[in-house]
């Protein structure tokens, strides 16, 4: 058996060896590792960068009260970004799978087209879902745009679903049976949280309050970004995004309103990206007074 | 001579784009080689069902997930030398009156670096000029390839382009290596910043990371050894053979699924078919759901046994030679078990909820922001289906029920899942049947999206037609009403497909009948601008496609109306390119003035086409005469005919006009009778008898004998002749406007 803990160790070890900085999860709720400023802001601008980190991701709509063996409200991604994308990035990725304990010769691996788009981030990329014996284990993306900016150089993003991969490695079909380490299972660690957050997301979350929060977070993000404090501004953008996800899970958003909320979050993200990008503008000759 | 091999190595190109990219690349390079005098061989075949290199013996296509390119046999190693005429100033200025070269000629020769003694008179684009011949040495093929290959790659149309690395290059996926060989020599060229060499790459997992290719001709073998079948035809053959082999061993067969096969051909570099098991407990699922689940989620083929039952095995295509430890099969089975378990859960939950109970939920499913929900649409469809049911003789109550509830499955768990959206309609039909609705109601719901694609079946019964038409017509009317008519390549609501579906049902369905579609639409409210023209355009498009001809040749098809069979006999058959455009124009020009009745229009066209083939010369003559008649009659008021006004028989003109009138009288009633019972072909054959009299009339009679109206007697004569022509034209117009016909000889001479 390969425990969740052991797999994460192997992932960090492998990608550190490829020159990635090993970062830590960002301490706010978010739906995907891409939203960590470590990815969202770092992919912008010209300077090379490479990092890898575990990111817990919350998707309120996917909660199943801890009862569905394959769907959870909170899952873990292992995120790798490298800028510029190395020429042999696919080979490195395949080596990473071998280093986790997968003998590729004994499996069927396919790179199937899957272009990624995050409307709330003004971001899209081109790439694949990596299918191993029919299971999607990785999203592999060449970022083309983020925060509304064209990206040059191009960042490659590799997102492993840690639970999926761990289930695959151990040949098990139930997420709660994953060994977290030798003594604790995934169920021990996560099931109660899944139950409670499902109750909150689907039943208890106060929609009036959450909608009001959304408005406040949005206003605060806009205020801060005007002062060029793009990092705190981006935090409030993430908070707004999560508030939207909860409203969505509660079924409190109509189809028309949904598009509007997405647009509002995207505006915040794009404003933060624009503020961040200012540092790379060619210095203007200042000759005043 | 040398064989030229080009392989552009990339990261995995999306399966749906590979063929088109490889084909266009080869096509562009061939075209440029031809222009450079380096290619005189055949062209690529465009038909996706055939080998593109069918007309180029020794040529091969390279089109796999990680590579596109081609092998071209027998290129000259350099362009042939050729002579070229250099043209200077016109002779008028190049030679003086005494026949001596002028300063202008001298200047030309000096500039070109030739002696005046080598110059002579040559033919320039505007007349004789001074000039000379010179030999142009052909350039080496390698040099030319270095120009045209990168240009051809740059010119490829990419539906979604990307950047990578430093962002300096653009292509469908990153280019990682290039192999370019003229026989066994590397051709010096580069593509997207990558210099060509002879090192290819084998299968990602089952082949060598570096494969030295000894020569162009040995490429396929070198790659095959490293588990890459570069030519898609080889992969297709391997998959097809293995599918058939395994299916036969399991005692069944694999129903053709060209789309899935094509996808898998381009998802693998070394495909191998693997057999897996479908857990028995899921075989009780309706086969539509079972098959869709396995196909959409996992690209599996199912095996069907006797009576089209689904056998408990799936066939999957893996990218590699084998499954040495059974991990792959087990992995696929595990994934399919969890998917099937989801599907069964959805189905079982859905069946418990009667379709009627989902109407309320339909109010929350948006059809279009400006057009409300699917509930609103269902109510409109119900009203329309009632009118259609009356026309097609369908049970009104059942048609209304089916129309009202056919969209209810949009609110079901199953259809809301991404992978099962293709089951919309079908799922509703299954639920209706399981919930005890009458068979033809369930069928109508099941079929109401049909025809979904060009060759798709039509809805089955009269209720099915009513509901399917109500759905499509409602969408068309409403979308046109809010200004969403398709423009150019933009057709987000697939209105062209809906229009095509309407026309196919109206003209091909055995239960279809004659009625005025325009009147039906008017009964719903004002017809949105452009809709009638759009529908006529769809009918025209249907006729222009070859498929209607195929219907004609097959008497057992939906067209078994007695008069269709007459057309069938008269048709020469064997056409694959649809009806001639002039016949389409003729039928539409005459047939849509008062009503728009696709069923009748289609019948007229088939009969017209058949009879024209029967008597092409008569038709050509009549066409010429009708053009004249139409020109003469343009803008004229209607006149009444008085046979007593014809000139006497003894007069040449009188004889001709009397003869035409007599001939008209002789066929008129007969033709009218035939037309009245839709035997347009028989009626047309009557009319064809008029040809000699019409020809004689136009040869001998001056119709406009009094153009300025000076002589009252002559004016009466002229008006009488116009009246005769008007009657004649009106009779022919019952079927087609003959002036639209383009005579065959004339067309051939163009």
Tell me: do A196 and A95 sit in the same domain.
Answer: yes
Contacts of A168 in chain B (CB under 8 A): 331
Residue B324 in contact with partner chain A when CB distance is under 8 A: yes
Other beta carbons within 10 Å of B321? 12
**Tens-place pLDDT, residues B658-708:** 999 999 999 999 999 999 988 898 888 888 889 999 999 999 998 888 888
Residue B171 carries which DSSP code?
Answer: B
Chain B contact for A154 (CB, 8 A cutoff): yes
DSSP strand pairing (A21-22 vs A49-58): parallel
Q: Which of A177-186, B72-81, B725-734 has the largest mean confidence? A: A177-186
The predicted pLDDT at position B575 comes to 41
Q: Same domain for A171 and A238? A: no
Range of A136's domain? 4-201
Residue B471 and residue B489 share a domain: yes
Residues B340, B211 share a domain: no
Q: Quick check: A133 and B165 CB within 8 A?
A: no
Q: How far apart are CA B643 and CA B724, in angstroms?
A: 9
CATH number of the domain bearing residue A190: 3.30.930.10
Residue B557 in domain: no
Per the structure, how many domains does chain A have? 2
- Residue A287 domain-assigned (yes or no): no
Shared domain for B132 and B162, answered yes or no, is no
Under 8 Å CB pairs connecting chains A and B tally to: 102
Residue ranges of E strands in B573-626: none
SS3 B315: strand
| Helix residue ranges, H only, B277-373 | 287-298, 327-352, 359-362
* B658 and B698 belong to one structural domain: yes
**Inter-chain touch B369–A256, beta carbons under 8 Å:** yes
Shared domain check, A222 and A179: no
SS3 A238: helix
Helix (H) or strand (E) holding B182: strand B175-182
Task: Flag whether A289 is in a domain.
Answer: no
Say how far apart CA B624 and CA A265 lie, in whole Å.
Answer: 69
Asked, for residue B532, whether it belongs to a domain, the answer is yes
Predicted confidence at residue B382, as pLDDT, reads 97
Per-residue pLDDT, averaged over B179-204, amounts to 97
Share of chain A residues as helix, strand and coil, in percent rounded to the nearest 5: 50, 20, 30
HSE-CB for B484 with a 13 A CA cutoff: 17
Smallest CA-to-CA distance from B276 within B320, B333, B340, B341 is with B333
Q: Which residues of A touch B319 (CB under 8 A)?
A: 108-110
Distances (CA, A) of B543 to B536, B580, B581, B630: 11, 9, 9, 26
Q: Is a pLDDT exceeding 60 seen at residue B550? A: no
Of A141, A175, A201, the residue at which a domain comes to its end is: A201
Element (H, E) at B372: strand B372-373
Could you tell me if residue B320 is inside a domain?
Answer: yes
Radius of gyration of chain A (CA): 20
The phi and psi torsions of B744 (rounded to 5 degrees) equal -60, -45
Task: Please say which residue of A180, A201, A222 terminates a domain.
Answer: A201
B12 to chain A, any CB pair closer than 8 A? The answer is yes
Please tell me the predicted confidence (pLDDT) of residue B167. 95
Q: Are strands B301-304 and B175-182 parallel, antiparallel or unpaired?
A: unpaired
Same domain as A224, residue A197: no
Residues B389 and B339 in one domain: no
User: Which among A70, A94, A108 is the nearest to B320, CB-wise?
Assistant: A108
Please list, in sequence order, all residues whose beta carbon lies within 8 angstroms of the beta carbon of residue B569, skipping any fewer than 6 positions away: B610
Region A128-154 average pLDDT: 95
Whether the CB of B166 is below 8 Å from some CB of chain A: the reply is yes
Using alpha carbons, select from A167, A163, A162 the residue that is nearest to residue A133.
A167
Question: What's the rounded mean pLDDT across residues B474-490?
Answer: 92
CB contact under 8 A, B319 and A108: yes
On whether both A147 and A215 belong to a single domain, the answer is no
Query: Would you say how long chain A is, in residues?
Result: 289
Q: Which chain B residue shows the shortest CA-CA distance from A45?
A: B166
Band of pLDDT at residue B200, cut at 50, 70 and 90: very high
Residue of chain A whose Cα is closest to the Cα of B294: A134
Q: Among the three residues B201, B225, B249, which one is the final residue of a domain in this structure?
A: B225
Same-domain check for residues A197 and A248 = no
- For residue B431, pLDDT over 60 is answered with yes
pLDDT digits (tens, 9 = 90+) for B409-428: 999 989 988 888 889 999 99
Task: Give the DSSP letter of residue B556.
Answer: T
List B2's β-bridge partners, or say none: B75
> What's the pLDDT tens digit per position in B141-184?
999 999 999 999 999 999 899 999 999 999 999 999 999 999 99
* B window 42-71, beta carbon within 8 A of A: 65
Q: Residue B432 corresponds to which tokens in the numbers above?
A: 């209706």
- Which residue bears the tokens 């008062």? B594
Structure token digits, residue A45: 């601008």
Task: Give the Cα separation of B102 and B88 in Å (integer).
Answer: 12
DSSP, collapsed to helix, strand or coil, labels residue B704 as: coil
User: Does residue B287 contact residue B307 with C-beta atoms inside 8 Å?
Assistant: no
The verdict on residue A212 lying in a domain is yes
Does the residue A141 lie in any domain?
Answer: yes
Q: How confident is the model at residue A220 (pLDDT cuts 50, 70, 90)?
A: very high
Whether residue A150 sits in one domain with residue A252: no
Higher local confidence (pLDDT), B634 or A183? A183
Burial, A181: exposed, middle or buried (Cβ in 10 Å; 0-12, 13-18, 19+)? Answer: exposed
> How many angstroms away from the CA of B316 is the closest CA of chain A?
10
- Residues ≥6 apart with Cβ < 8 Å to B213: B5, B179, B181, B198, B199, B200, B219, B222, B223
Number of domains in chain B: 5
Answer whether B331 sits within 8 Å of A142, measured CB to CB.
no
Kindly list the residues from chain A whose CB atom is less than 8 angstroms away from the CB atom of residue B205: 94, 104-105, 109
Q: Does B162 touch chain A (CB under 8 A)?
A: yes
Are A142 and B162 an interchain contact pair (Cβ–Cβ within 8 Å)?
yes
Given CB atoms, is B338 within the 8 Å cutoff of chain A?
yes
| Residues of chain B above pLDDT 70, percent | 95
What pLDDT does A250 receive? 87
CB contact under 8 Å between B167 and A154, yes or no, is: yes
Residue A110 exposed, middle or buried by CB count within 10 Å (0-12, 13-18, 19+): buried
Round to whole Å and give the CA distance between B65 and B13. 5
Taking the Cβ of residue A126 and every Cβ of chain B, the question of whether any pair is shorter than 8 Å is answered with yes
Q: What angle do CA A98, A100, A106 make, to 5 degrees?
A: 45
**How far does chain A reach from its first CA to its final CA, in angstroms?**
71
The verdict on A11 and A143 lying in the same domain is yes
B561 pLDDT higher than 90: no
Instruction: Output Rg (C-alpha) for chain B, integer angstroms.
Output: 35
B340 lies in the same domain as B451: no
pLDDT at B749: 45
Whether B513 and B634 map to the same domain: the answer is: no
What residues contact A219, with CB distance under 8 A and at least 6 apart?
none
CATH number for B518:
1.10.3210
For residue A200, give both structure tokens: 């909150």
Task: State the average pLDDT over residues B91-117.
Answer: 90
Closest residue in chain B to residue A103, using alpha carbons only: B205
**Are B627 and B722 part of one and the same domain?**
yes
Choose one of B225, B243, B265: the last residue of a domain.
Answer: B225
Of the pLDDT bands very low, low, confident and very high (cuts 50, 70, 90), residue A288 is low
Q: How far is CA A34 from CA A61, A123, A158, A243, B602, in A?
A: 18, 10, 10, 18, 58
In a domain, A81, yes or no: yes
Q: Which two tokens stand for residue B279?
A: 């857990």
Final residue of a structural domain among B109, B136, B163: B136
Closest approach of chain B CAs to the CA of A87, in angstroms?
7
Question: In this model, does residue B519 exceed pLDDT 50?
Answer: yes
pLDDT of B141 reads 96
Instruction: Please list, in sequence order, all residues whose beta carbon lies within 8 angstroms of the beta carbon of residue B359, skipping any fewer than 6 positions away.
Output: B375, B378, B404, B405, B408
- Domain co-membership, A154 together with A55: yes
**Under an 8 A CB cutoff, do A113 and B338 touch?**
no
Contact B632, B704 (CB under 8 A): yes
- Chain-chain contact of A134 with B298 (C-beta, under 8 angstroms): yes
- Looking up residue A251, the CATH number of its domain turns out to be 1.20.58.180
User: A129 and A258 share a domain?
Assistant: no
How does DSSP classify residue A106? G
Nearest to A108 among B12, B167, B328 (CB): B328
Residue (of B46, B94, B96, B55) closest to B73 by Cα position: B55
The confidence score (pLDDT) of residue A253 equals 83
**Closest B-chain CA to A112:** B14
Q: For residue A187, tell me if it sits in a domain.
A: yes
Q: Are B119 and B129 in contact (CB under 8 A)?
A: no
Tell me whether B237 touches chain A (CB under 8 Å): no
Q: Measured between alpha carbons, how far is residue A59 from residues A32, A138, B315, B595 in Å?
A: 9, 18, 35, 57
Q: B-contacting residues of A 245-274, CB under 8 Å? A: 255-256
Residues B219 and B95 in one domain: no
Which of A85, A168, A173 has its CB closest to that of B164? A85
A153 interface with B at CB cutoff 8 Å: yes
CA distances from B329 to A126, B251, B303, B325, B508 (A): 30, 20, 16, 9, 45
By DSSP bridging, strand B2-10 and strand B175-182 are: antiparallel
Residue B369 has what pLDDT? 83
Question: Are B486 and B396 within one domain?
Answer: yes
- Strands B199-200 and B211-212 come out as antiparallel
- Nearest 5 degrees, angle CA B345-CA B350-CA B354? 155
ipTM (interface pTM): 0.93
How do beta strands B82-90 and A116-118 pair?
unpaired
Dist CA A128 CA B65 (whole Å):
12
Chain A: nearest CA to B317, how far in angstroms? 9
Instruction: Note whether A142 and A214 are same-domain residues.
Output: no
CA distance linking residue B657 with residue B642, whole number of Å: 12
Share of chain B above pLDDT 90, in %: 68
Contact yes or no for A154 and B337 at CB 8 A: no
* In a shared domain, residues B188 and B210: yes
- Cα angle, residue A171 at apex, residues A168 and A176 outer, rounded to 5°: 80
Among A107, A145, A152, A177, the strongest candidate for a mutation testing the B interface, having the largest count of B CBs within 10 A, is A107
Per the structure, the complete domain to which residue B509 belongs is given by 375-412+425-544
Give the residue carrying structure tokens 């745009």. A145
- pTM (global) more than 0.90: no
Q: How is B229-298 classified by DSSP, letter by letter?
A: --SHHHHHHHHHHHHHHHHHHTT-BPPP-HHHHHHHHTT-SSEEEEEEE--GGGTTS-HHHHHHHHHHHH
Q: Is B418 in CB contact (< 8 Å) with chain A?
A: no
Q: How many CB atoms lie within 10 A of CB A201?
A: 22
Distance from CA of B15 to the nearest CA of A (A): 7
Question: Coil, strand, or helix at residue A269?
Answer: helix
Report which of B166, B277, B179 is spatially closest to residue B220, judged by C-alpha positions. Answer: B179
- The two three-digit tokens of residue A233, written as one number: 């501004």
Contacts of A194 (CB under 8 A, 6+ apart): A63, A64, A65, A66, A72, A73, A74
pLDDT averaged over every residue in chain B: 90
> Is the separation of the CB atoms in A73 and A200 below 8 Å?
no
- Structural tokens at position B248: 């036969």
Per-position b or e across A41-58, b if 16+ CB within 10 A of its CB: bbbbbeeebbbbbbbebb
Task: Tell me: do A122 and A228 sit in the same domain.
Answer: no
Q: For residue B570, what pLDDT is reported? A: 37
DSSP state of A21: E
The model's pLDDT over B319-372, given as tens digits with 9 standing for 90+, comes to 999 999 999 999 999 889 888 988 998 999 999 999 999 999 898 888 988 998
| pLDDT at residue B750 in the model | 41
Are B661 and B736 members of one domain? yes
């Amino acid at each position: 058996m390969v425990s969740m803990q052991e797999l994460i160790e192997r992932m960090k070890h492998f990608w550190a060896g490829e020159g990635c900085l090993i970062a830590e999860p960002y301490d706010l709720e978010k739906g995907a590792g891409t939203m960590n400023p470590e990815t969202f802001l770092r992919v912008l601008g010209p300077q090379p960068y490479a990092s890898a980190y575990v990111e817990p991701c919350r998707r309120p709509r996917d909660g199943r009260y801890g009862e569905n063996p394959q769907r959870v409200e909170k899952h873990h991604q292992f995120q790798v970004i490298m800028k510029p994308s190395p020429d042999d990035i696919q080979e490195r990725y395949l080596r990473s799978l071998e280093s986790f304990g997968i003998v590729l010769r004994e499996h069927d691996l396919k790179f199937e087209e899957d272009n990624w788009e995050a409307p709330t981030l003004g971001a899209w990329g081109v790439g694949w879902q990596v299918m191993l014996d029919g299971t999607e284990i990785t999203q592999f993306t060449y970022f083309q745009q983020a925060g509304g900016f064209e990206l040059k150089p191009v960042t490659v993003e590799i997102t492993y679903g840690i639970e999926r991969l761990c289930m695959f490695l151990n040949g098990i079909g139930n997420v709660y049976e994953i060994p977290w380490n030798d003594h604790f299972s995934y169920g021990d660690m996560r099931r109660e949280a899944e139950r409670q957050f499902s109750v909150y997301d689907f039943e208890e979350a106060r929609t009036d309050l959450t909608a009001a929060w959304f408005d406040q977070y949005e206003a605060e993000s806009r205020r801060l970004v005007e002062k060029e404090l793009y990092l705190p501004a981006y935090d409030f953008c993430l908070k707004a995004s999560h508030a939207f996800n909860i409203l969505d899970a509660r079924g409190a958003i109509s189809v028309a309103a949904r598009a509007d909320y997405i647009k509002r979050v995207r505006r915040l993200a794009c404003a933060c990206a624009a503020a961040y990008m200012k540092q790379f503008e060619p210095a203007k000759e200042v000759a005043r007074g | 001579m040398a064989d030229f091999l080009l392989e552009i190595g990339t990261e995995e190109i999306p399966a749906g784009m590979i063929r088109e990219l490889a084909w266009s690349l080869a096509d562009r390079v061939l075209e440029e080689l031809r222009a450079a005098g380096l290619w005189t061989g055949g062209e690529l075949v465009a038909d996706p069902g055939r080998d593109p290199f069918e007309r180029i013996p020794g040529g091969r296509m390279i089109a796999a997930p990680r590579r596109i390119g081609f092998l071209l046999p027998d290129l000259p190693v350099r362009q042939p030398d050729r002579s070229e005429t250099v043209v200077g100033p016109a002779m008028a200025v190049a030679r003086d009156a005494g026949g001596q070269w002028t300063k202008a000629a001298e200047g030309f020769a000096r500039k070109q670096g030739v002696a005046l003694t080598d110059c002579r008179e040559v033919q320039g684009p505007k007349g004789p000029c001074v000039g000379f011949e010179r030999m142009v040495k052909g350039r080496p093929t390698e040099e030319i390839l270095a120009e045209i290959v990168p240009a051809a790659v740059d010119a490829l149309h990419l539906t979604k382009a990307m950047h990578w690395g430093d962002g300096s290059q653009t292509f469908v996926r990153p280019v990682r290596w290039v192999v370019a060989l003229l026989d066994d020599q590397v051709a010096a060229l580069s593509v997207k910043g990558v210099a060509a060499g002879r090192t290819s790459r084998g299968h990602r997992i089952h082949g060598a990371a570096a494969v030295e290719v000894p020569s162009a001709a040995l490429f396929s073998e070198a790659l095959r050894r490293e588990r890459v079948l570069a030519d898609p035809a080889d992969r297709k053959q391997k998959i097809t053979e293995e599918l058939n082999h395994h299916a036969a061993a399991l005692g069944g067969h694999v129903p053709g699924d060209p789309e899935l096969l094509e996808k898998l051909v381009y998802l693998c570099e070394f495909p191998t078919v693997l057999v897996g098991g479908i857990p028995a407990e899921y075989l009780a699922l309706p086969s539509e759901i079972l098959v869709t689940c396995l196909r959409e989620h996992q690209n599996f083929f199912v095996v069907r046994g006797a009576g089209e039952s689904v056998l408990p095995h799936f066939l999957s295509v893996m990218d590699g030679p084998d499954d040495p430890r059974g991990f792959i099969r087990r992995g696929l089975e595990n994934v399919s078990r969890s998917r099937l378990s989801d599907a069964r859960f959805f189905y079982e939950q859905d069946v418990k909820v009667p379709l009627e109970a989902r109407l309320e939920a339909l109010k929350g499913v948006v059809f279009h922001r400006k057009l409300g929900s699917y509930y609103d649409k269902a109510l409109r469809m119900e009203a329309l289906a009632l009118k259609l049911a009356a026309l097609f003789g369908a049970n009104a109550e059942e048609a209304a029920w089916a129309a009202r509830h056919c969209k209810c499955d949009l609110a079901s768990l199953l259809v809301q899942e991404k992978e099962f959206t293709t089951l919309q309609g079908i799922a509703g039909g299954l639920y209706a049947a399981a919930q005890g609705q009458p068979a033809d109601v369930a069928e109508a719901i099941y079929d109401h999206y049909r025809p979904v694609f060009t060759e798709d079946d039509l809805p089955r019964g009269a209720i099915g037609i009513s509901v399917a038409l109500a759905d499509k017509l409602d969408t068309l009317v409403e979308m046109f009403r809010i200004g969403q008519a398709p423009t150019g390549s933009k057709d987000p609501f697939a209105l062209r497909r809906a229009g095509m579906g309407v026309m196919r049902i109206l003209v091909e369905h055995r239960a279809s009948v004659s009625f005025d579609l325009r009147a039906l639409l008017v009964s719903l409210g004002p017809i949105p601008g452009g809709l009638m023209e759009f529908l006529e355009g769809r009918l025209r498009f249907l006729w222009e496609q070859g498929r209607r001809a195929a219907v004609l040749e097959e008497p057992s098809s939906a067209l078994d109306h007695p008069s269709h069979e007459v057309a069938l006999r008269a048709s020469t058959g064997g056409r694959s390119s649809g009806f001639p455009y002039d016949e389409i124009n003729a039928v539409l020009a005459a047939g849509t003035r008062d009503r728009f009745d696709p069923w009748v229009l289609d019948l007229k066209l088939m009969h017209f086409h058949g009879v024209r083939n029967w008597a092409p010369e008569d038709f050509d003559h009549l066409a010429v005469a009708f053009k004249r008649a139409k020109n003469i009659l343009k803008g004229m008021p209607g006149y009444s005919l008085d046979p007593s006004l014809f000139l006497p028989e003894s007069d040449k003109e009188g004889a001709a006009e009397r003869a035409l009138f007599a001939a008209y009288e002789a066929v008129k009633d007969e033709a009218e009778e035939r037309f009245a019972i839709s035997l347009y072909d028989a009626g047309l054959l009557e009319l064809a008898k008029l040809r000699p009299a019409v020809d004689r009339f136009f040869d001998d009679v001056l119709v406009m004998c009094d153009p300025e109206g000076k002589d009252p007697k002559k004016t009466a004569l002229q008006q009488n002749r116009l009246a005769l022509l008007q009657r004649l034209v009106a009779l022919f117009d019952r079927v087609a406007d003959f002036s639209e016909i383009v005579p065959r000889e004339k067309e051939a001479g163009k």
